[in-house]
Structure 1
């Protein structure tokens, strides 16, 4: 996986073109985090920081650690987030995760850049930094059961989404209890909880 050439200035416009349900996906991720108050949040693939800002708004006592491989996007996230409540690192999803522990881990439209083995590995590492009772909320592309539900263009190189069933299986294998909080066509929000 290479570093993406995302431009923070055009990111939202691109998302609106390529992921028509982007705002709804973002809303569903934030809603899924509200089930339990969070105090220590890890955002994987923080991008522009706009989703992380909404998560922090929903969890006013929380601090956040964010990682992203793209320096320009990290700069945008730095500008979007309260420096007193957030710490950002340049890091790929394949790299070791910040130590934590975290009671909430989120990721929006980043994990689909990993192949199946990469996703399974990441889910195990996420489970390792979660507190008991902590949650992982994943909002991302999935390969839908019906080919007609493919809405978002993918290149098959940088974009390698997996089926919902595969991801639920890998999350369960990582020791997390999972549920689908929302799904529409080729998008889904999965909530996974570490029970022990």
Structure 2
């Protein structure tokens, strides 16, 4: 019996339409329409409030080149790719900067190599003293090559230092008292490194 009551068609509750006197204003707004309109209005109000807050917190001096070089077309973001050729003078400047950078890197690496060779010098002498005659030909050749390279770099370094510091040498000679033994910093460093290795 209860099931039958549920199945019986009930009267259809239709919402009233706009009165004839107000038909010029369009359809009568129902509650569901009001809810949609209110949600839309409040969401727009919140977005505007957030944008105002963001604008008030924005740094006036902030600038990025993307602000100029980008744009939106129909909602799609595009970056302007301005591939303008460089001037010849600018290209020459960039090439010289690259060349100078490579020269400085090469000089740094050469300094590292000379430091390593200077460190290896006392070690070779020590190896030679330990190997008293019974070493193979390969070891002797390797030791000879290292000795030759060390002497060549040492001669080169002393020639460079003599050219660069000739004025300083005259000042140092004026300060040194006659009859006292003179030591160079290189000899002092080598004696310290050889003492620490032994």
User: What's the TM-score bracket when you normalise by the shorter of the two chains?
Assistant: under 0.3
Q: Tell me the TM-score normalized by structure 2.
A: 0.18
More relative contact order in 1 or in 2 (CA 8 Å, sep 6+)? 1
Instruction: Name the one with the larger helix percent.
Output: 2
Instruction: Name the one with the larger strand percent.
Output: 1
- Report which of the two structures shows the higher radius of gyration computed on alpha carbons: 2
Q: Tell me the TM-score normalized by structure 1.
A: 0.18
